[in-house]
Amino acid sequence: MNIVATIYEMETAHHTMLCMARPAGGAFSVRPSATLSLRGTAFAGFEAEAAELMHNTTMWNERFSEPGYAYGTTANDFLTSVADQVPPGRVLSLAEGEGRNAVFLASLGFDVTAVDTSSVGLEKARALADEHGVSISTVEANLTNFDIRPGYWQGIVSVFCHLPPPVRKELHRRCVVGLSPGGALVLEGFHGRQLEYGTGGPKDPQRLFSLDELRGELDGLDFVIAHELDRKISEGRFHKGTVAVVQILGRKA
């Protein structure tokens, strides 16, 4: 059996882009807009990582199937502190999960597209948007091969998005390319020292990172904020206590 080909077939059959729009009557409608094709070279060099991420999709669907919101419904506080530095327009939120950050950004007037591998999480994101009276678009996709349109986004948000290093590096390269001139990247994620705290995040040290690593991966941005710090956090059931993080606000010239 060709395992990689099997992954392609499974992903092509089951992963679709989903867009949500609020019609005049106020109710949300969800429509499949395009089948996400993983054929071609999208997985070149990332076959093992792709298989791992498919396994993670099941884990995230199970977590987001639990009652309530796993990471709460309040936006990440680093994001809220810098949102006014993101130019008006289109914002892409990566690994959005259940919608807390996308809904916050939409409430500020941004045209938000939320991407996640979990169909369950995105369904809850749409419900949260409905509850708050805002409109977002959602895309169910594996970030290994997600296409970020060059020069299109005024903002890209990555909050606790932890991927295998080869996938992360390539994704960050595409993020820089995807920002429009003057566009901003907002990123917060767990530093390698987070394993000492055990208050959230992946247990695999390769999925954690340092500021120096991110500076290299995000070459092409001017860093308005670039911190490594320990801070208190309270985000739902899974992010509680003191954490070690990296925070970045980067701007494309």
> Contact at 8 Å (CB) between 197 and 219?
no
Task: State the pLDDT at residue 53.
Answer: 57
Task: State the pLDDT at residue 64.
Answer: 87
Residue 197 pLDDT exceeds 80: yes
Three-class SS of residue 17?
strand
Q: Is CATH 3.40.50.150 what the domain over 3-252 is classified as, yes or no?
A: yes
Q: CA 150, 152, 153 angle in degrees (round to 5)?
A: 115
CA distance 224 to 226: 7
Predicted structure pTM score: 0.80
Give start and end residues of each alpha helix (H) in 84-139. 100-107, 119-132
Task: State the pLDDT at residue 56.
Answer: 80
Mean pLDDT calculated for residue range 200-213: 95
Within 13 Å, how many C-alpha atoms sit on residue 61's CB side?
Answer: 11
Among 31-35, 134-138, 191-195, whose mean pLDDT is lowest? 31-35
Among 3-7, 116-120, 199-203, 230-234, whose mean pLDDT is lowest? 3-7
Q: CA 173, 175, 180 angle in degrees (round to 5)?
A: 120
Exposure class string for 15-26: b at 16+ Cβ within 10 A, else e: bbbbebeeeeee
Give start and end residues of each alpha helix (H) in the chain. 3-14, 47-64, 77-82, 100-107, 119-132, 165-178, 194-197, 211-217
Q: Give every CB contact of residue 24 below 8 A, 6+ residues apart in sequence.
A: none
Domain spans, the chain: 3-252
Give percent helix, percent strand, percent coil of the chain, each to the nearest 5. Answer: 35, 30, 35
Task: State the pLDDT at residue 127.
Answer: 97
CA distance 159 to 50: 21
Three-class SS of residue 227?
strand
Q: CA 60, 66, 70 angle in degrees (round to 5)?
A: 65
* Amino acid (one-letter) located at 233: I
Bridge partner residues of 93 (DSSP): 114, 157
Q: Please give the structure tokens belonging to residue 145.
A: 């091969």
- Work out the angle between the directed axes of helices 165-178 and 47-64 (0-180°, nearest 10): 80
Q: Please give the structure tokens belonging to residue 89.
A: 């327009």
